[in-house]
Amino acid sequence: MLTLAVKPTDATGPDARPHAVVIGSGFGGLAAAIRLGARGYRVTVLERLDQPGGRARVHRQDGFTFDAGPTIVTAPFLFEELWRLCGRAMHEDVALVPMQPFYRIRFEDGESFAYSGDRAAMRAEVARFSPDDVTGYERFMAHSEAVCRVGFERLGHVPFGSVGAMLRIAPDLLRLSGHRSVYDVVARFIGDERLRTVFSFHPLLIGGNPFRASGIYCLIAHLERQWGVHFAMGGTGRLVDGLCGLIRGQGGTIRCGADVARIRVEGGAATGVALADGESIPADIVVSNADSAFTYGTLLGGRTRRWSARRLARAASSMGLFVWYFGTRRKYPEVDHHMILMGPRYRALLQDIFDRKHLADDFSLYLHRPTATDPLLAPPGCDAFYVLAPVPNLAGGQDWARLAEPYRQRIAHFLEGSVLPGLSDALVTSRVTTPQDFSDDFLSFRGSGFGLEPVLTQSAWFRPHNRSEDVANLFLVGAGTHPGAGLPGVLSSARVLDSVVPDARVRA
């Protein structure tokens, strides 16, 4: 355990608080900076791109505003807690609007399921598809609640720094079907195949294959019903701006265009970072919000025991993402804020993506229309969209420089023939992000969208720890560490720091 001798700050001299450097300004890094600032550290956040946010950066183009990554907020209390740590209220800076329905799931035949937090409405939707499954749905939601109470509320912010900690929860994991896949758990309760799809797709939101992601992720269904699904007015980028304001209000610094080349290690402990331009920044502790594989494989030069280059090469990565951002000169009021457009295959498509690493001719899509809630994200009379397709990560060997435009055209053709008639004539602005961009921009291992795949053997103790196993004074947050991807996951990874990083306000 790191022990810091904290000196009282001289109000008229330099800031004498212990210095914490945070590498990366994704939500995990920003939340970590705030928590460290609240516990007496002087914090510097280093971001290699030209704006903070990481995967949650913002694209502004031709009068349209596009959130690049996360689009929904669940468990908003995790954000509210960060504002409270700074003596402020979140609503002073960011307005969250509840979504109703959460999503509309559209099947290939045009039939759709309105997925919401309204219990009576959900029972009615289930009955409309399969009356015999209403009781099974209720039992599944009771199971989801039990899993959420253990997997998220009790363990989501608990560090797993020892095998013993993992063994202590093993009985709970077995009792709650953590050894089964999400799909298998859902299938125990629900018989209709379309409803099995509706209640098992959630792992895809955090980079997992529903047919092998641990059944512990069934907790997401209850988490959404308990705390709702929300949208930040102005886009998710408003949350990034708000968090950056909190950091600066604590006396912290955020530096963009600061490319960290390596973490400096002396005597087995992190002592700061070296930037690509040669600048050296000393620190008492270092927190990496970079991809965990990049942290161990590059920033530490592979000089680690547990997360060696060989082990990283054997690890299973989450899928890649193809994202098309586009704006139209007309509005589509019949399209919901969040839609999931299912293709003709479910299990077989996921096998192509995760196992064969094959870019299939068909796809399933997540369509986001933020202007359904906030018209100011587009010029008057226009709509902003992004559509996301899960695709193989770069281990599939696809040449996205060649494939991106034909793939975009196939998606556009599908959308025009289904939910966005007249799209080709209405299109006024466009840009794409591919797995290659995830690798180039975010230094994501294999260009994956969410870091390590969330299977049981890569969860909790089996995942990179929040406190480095190899280097003292080095800590990890974000999607690639415990508890995992998604906004609740990365915010909880920062929450873990309260348990593993010494409080700088306590004098030695």
Label each residue of 221-241 as H, E or C: HHHHHHHCCEEECCCCHHHHH
- Asked whether the beta carbons of 72 and 366 are under 8 A apart, the reply is no
| Burial zone of 261 (CB within 10 Å; 0-12 exposed, 13-18 middle, 19+ buried) | middle
CA atoms of 386 and 67, how far apart (whole Å): 8
Q: Give the number of other Cβ atoms within 10 Å of residue 97's Cβ.
A: 14
Q: What is the DSSP letter of 458?
A: G
Task: Summarize pLDDT for 242-262 with one digit per residue, the tens.
Answer: 999 999 999 999 999 999 999
| Residue ranges with strand state E in 50-89 | 58-61, 64-67
Q: Give the number of other Cβ atoms within 10 Å of residue 334's Cβ.
A: 9
Q: Give the number of other Cβ atoms within 10 Å of residue 432's Cβ.
A: 18
Q: How far is CA 33 from the centre of its chain?
A: 18
Strand partners, 282: 272
The model's pTM is 0.94
Q: Rg for the chain (alpha carbons), in Å?
A: 22
Task: Summarize pLDDT for 120-154 with one digit per residue, the tens.
Answer: 999 999 999 999 999 999 999 999 999 999 888 87
CA atoms of 42 and 40, how far apart (whole Å): 7
Task: Summarize pLDDT for 47-69 with one digit per residue, the tens.
Answer: 999 999 999 999 999 999 999 99
Query: What percent of the residues of the chain are helix, what percent strand, and what percent coil, each to the nearest 5?
Result: 40, 20, 40
The percent of residues above 90 in pLDDT, for the chain, comes to: 85
Mean pLDDT of 389-404: 98
**What is the reported pLDDT for 2?**
41
Residue 310's pLDDT band, with cuts at 50, 70 and 90, is: confident
At residue 69, φ and ψ (nearest 5 deg) are -130, -110
> If phi over 0 gives left and psi between -120 and 50 gives alpha, with beta otherwise, what is residue 61?
beta
* Contact residues for 141 (Cβ-Cβ < 8 A; gap 6+): 221, 222, 225
Looking at per-residue pLDDT, the higher value among 312 and 354 belongs to: 354
The DSSP H or E segment spanning 97 is strand 96-98
SS3 state at 251? coil
**What is the reported pLDDT for 3?**
39
CA atoms of 28 and 477, how far apart (whole Å): 6
